[in-house]
Amino acid sequence: MAKPSATKSSAPARLRIRWVRSVIGYPVRVRQTMRGLGFHRLHEVIERPDTPAIRGMINKVRHLVEVTTPGMEP
């Protein structure tokens, strides 16, 4: 039986994502990706865990969003 690691972080890293550009004129797949991230309206800010799946979704819509980590706000 494997021993639990004593150096696990207490919480996963988070990403703060802000929707800054409209999806009007973009393909349906882009709209579906924005909805899949959890966005409902323009200028909304959401927090998501920093996982490869979320990073891939952000990469597909990187022209529509701004990404920061909590605590990095000006």
Q: Between 74 and 43, whose confidence is greater?
A: 43
Residue with tokens 């979704």: 57
Please report the pLDDT score of residue 24 as a whole number: 96
**Whole-prediction pTM:** 0.78
Residues 6+ apart with CB under 8 A from 58: 15, 17, 37, 65, 67
Q: Mean pLDDT across the chain, nearest whole number?
A: 89
pLDDT digits (tens, 9 = 90+) for 19-39: 999 999 999 999 999 999 999
Mean pLDDT across 2-11:
61
Q: How confident is the model at residue 71 (pLDDT cuts 50, 70, 90)?
A: confident
